[in-house]
Structure 1
Amino acid sequence: MTLSTRPNAQDPRVIRTRQLIQQSFMELLRTRNFQQVTVSDVTRHAMINRVTFYTHYTDKYELLDDMINSQLIQLIYKGIDTHNGLQPESLPLLICALCDYHEYSANECHRNNLEVRQMIEKQVKIQLEEYILDQLTKQQPEQEPAQLKVTATMISWSLYGATLRWSQERSSERETSQQLAARMVPLLTALF
């Protein structure tokens, strides 16, 4: 197998290997800054060779992107009917999922929040905006694409910003994610 060939993503061995690499990477990020973690560190911790790592990822940045995308996608689609468009009933689930994601990333990468959070934020905003745009397009196919894009940007950035702000408040003083969702849904539905 050459380095340019990607393994079958559905193969259980490939899935286990990728999970092992991701788990090792996260464990290392708990004790070191992102810049301090090398591919050699990850392979040593995962007890795999470098060729195996490079079969799955080109570098640690691609590994981080893959982890962000796969975890966010799992959270976003959890419990949400993606065939019905963006509905007021699905927004609380999405808001709570983003709150969970922010808490997870803060707990998993607490030493790296400033460094890694920018990388996470960029990917999360892209994924969230694409998801919202897809849902709005299904819901309002007659609407002009430029208007849908602006609406998706406004909704996704509002969702991201409000849930990030919520996660930065002291947990003893903040409202629950469900309470935040109840406050946000009327404001967001006014946009579409």
Structure 2
Amino acid sequence: MEAAACGKNGKSDKSQDRRARRSYRLLKQSFLELMREKGFPAITIQDIADRADVNRGTFYAHFPDKYALLEEALRDKFRHRLAATLPEDAGWERGPLRILVQTVLEHYREMSGRCHPTDVVGPMLERAVQEDLYALLLDWIERSRANAVADAPPYSSETLALMASWAIYGAAVDWSRGNRRLSAERMADEVMAVLLAGTGRLASEG
């Protein structure tokens, strides 16, 4: 009897998990559709729930508010773009760094064109891009140092990742806001020159 009950509970749990994943996916899809149709400020929780054909309680089971959903959508888009452009074995090397820099430039140009500077979307986009950049670069730098032969320099991987992420991010912001006398390719080359002459060299010393 207990085994049968456990089996039933197991099936019930799996069914609930599938429903939760489905409602989560529908909420995000509905939110993106509404963003294209009416813009973030005009969207309400009820709008999202109605479009996804779920109740408000289901929305709050996944997200505390529409701002959390917005931030997750922005992070998802950036991460998907990185996954589509970076090689699987990407690390702190010239090739992957060059791809990363140009990807950030093009992503920020595309996204900032959709967000008014005073819009709440702008600051969230900036935070999502910079924080994910930092995490990615920190992983690359730490793996590079772990494989290096020489002793690590007296500065942390965190500091190097912070400097590099802000260098890439800052260049993307300035370039996307109108300082586009250079193409994305040429701008990426200039950012790369700075990285390899400065933080790129420091990271490889460890």
TM-score, with structure 2 as normaliser: 0.73
1:110: how far off?
2.9
1:152: how far off?
0.6
Superposed CA offset, 1:105-160 (max 9, x none): 224x4347632111221222111101101100000125368521111111100101
Give the letter aligned to residue 23 of structure 1.
Q
Q: 2:171 aligned to 125, 140, 162, which one?
A: 162
Q: 1:188 aligned to 184, 192, 195, which one?
A: 195
Tell me, which stretches of 5 or more residues in structure 1 are unaligned?
A: 1-6
CA RMSD, aligned part only? 2.8
Which segment drifts farther, 150-159 or 60-69? 60-69
Partner Cα separation in structure 2 for residue 145 and residue 42 of structure 1: 50
**Contact 2:115 2:121 survives alignment (8 Å):** no
Instruction: Give the structure with the larger helix fraction.
Output: 2
Q: 1:51 aligned to 50, 57, 60, which one?
A: 57
Partner Cα separation in structure 1 for residue 155 and residue 90 of structure 2: 21
Partner Cα separation in structure 2 for residue 145 and residue 135 of structure 1: 18
**Contact 2:91 2:140 survives alignment (8 Å):** yes
Percent sequence identity is 27
Partner Cα separation in structure 1 for residue 158 and residue 24 of structure 2: 34
**Contact 1:75 1:98 survives alignment (8 Å):** no
TM-score, with structure 1 as normaliser: 0.77
**Which of the two has higher C-alpha Rg?**
2
Partner Cα separation in structure 2 for residue 116 and residue 179 of structure 1: 28
Give the letter aligned to residue 155 of structure 1.
A
| Corresponding residue number in structure 1 for 2:66 | 60
Report which structure shows greater RCO (CA 8 Å, sep ≥6). 1
| Corresponding residue number in structure 2 for 1:178 | 185
Q: How many residues align?
A: 180
